[in-house]
Amino acid sequence: MPMLEVDNIHTYYGNIQALKGISLTVEEGEIVTLIGANGAGKSTTLWTIAGLLKPRQGKVFLEGEDLAGYKAHEIVYKGVALVPEGRRIFAKLTVAENLDMGAYHRSDRAGIAEDLERAFTLFPRLKERRSQVAGTLSGGEQQMLSTARALMARPRLMLLDEPSMGLAPVLVENFFETIQEINRDGTTILLVEQNAHMALQVAQRGYVLETGAIMLSDTADGLRQNPMVQKAYLGME
C-alpha cells in the first residue's frame, strides 16, 4: 500500500478547473517530484493533498485512509506537512516562535525539544538567529525556517512547494542536500520544483504535469533521458 495515493482528483478555483483527473502514488521512504510549467497544477495538487482545497471529484488516501472528511489542520495531525511556495513564515514572530508554531498541536515536550535540536542541526543558521524577527531574515534563511517549521510537526510525509525559488545558486545545492538528509532520516517527500535538474537528481521518480493533467511518469533517470523532458524542462535540444 502506498503512503500516499491520489486517485483521479478534479480541483477547481470557482468555475475554472485546475486539476483534470490527477492520479499519483508516493511510497514510504521515497522522494517523488512533480515538474511542469507555471500554471500546470503542481501547487494545486499539493494544496489538495494538504486539505487546503477540496476536490470536486476523486480521493486522496494516506496509508489507505480517505482524507476527504478531514480539515487541513487535522491532516497535519495525520502526519502531512506542507512547506508552501513563498515560505509563508510569521514575519513578526521570532525564529523560535515560528518553530514553536510548527509544533502547536503537540504536547510531548521532550519530543518537541528533540525535534528543535534536529532542526538546528539541519539548519545551523537558524540556531544563530533564533531570537531574530523572522521577517528580517534573508530569503534563504526564510526557506530554512519554513522547512524547519514543517519538521516540527514531525511529519511522515512532507509536501515541498518550490523550495529553491528565489534562492541564490550557491544555496540551492546545499538545500537539496538537506532535503535528501531529511528523507534519509525517515520523512517521505513529495517535491514540486521548477529546477527540474535538481529535482530529478534527488528524486527516485517523477511526474510531468501539463495544464492540470499528468502527461508522463517515470523513474527520475527515465525522465532525464526523455527527449521531451530534456527539451521542455532541462534546456537541452
What CATH number corresponds to the domain at position 54? Answer: 3.40.50.300
pLDDT tens for 156-176 read: 999 999 988 877 788 888 889
pLDDT at 188: 98
Q: What is the distance between the alpha carbons of residues 72 and 58, in angstroms, rounded to a whole number?
A: 17
| pTM across the whole model | 0.93
**65 and 99, same domain (yes or no):** no
The answer to whether residue 71 sits within a structural domain is yes
191 contacts 179 by C-beta, under 8 angstroms: yes
Average pLDDT, the chain: 93
Look up the domain containing 212 and give its range. Answer: 1-79+155-165+178-237
Q: What is the distance between the alpha carbons of residues 74 and 33, in angstroms, rounded to a whole number?
A: 24
pLDDT tens for 206-229 read: 999 999 999 999 999 999 999 999
* Number of structural domains found in the chain: 2
Q: What is the distance between the alpha carbons of residues 86 and 108, in angstroms, rounded to a whole number?
A: 30
**201 and 145, same domain (yes or no):** no
**116 and 159, same domain (yes or no):** no
Is the pLDDT at 72 greater than 70? The verdict is yes
pLDDT tens for 79-135 read: 999 998 877 888 899 999 999 998 988 889 899 999 999 999 999 999 999 999 988
Question: Residue 237's pLDDT band (boundaries 50, 70, 90)?
Answer: low
Closest CA to 218 of 233, 199, 204: 204
pLDDT at 88: 86
Greater pLDDT, 40 or 139: 40
What's the helix, strand, coil split of the chain in %, to 5? 40, 25, 35
What are the distances in angstroms from CA 57 to CA 20, 48, 145, 186? 9, 11, 34, 31
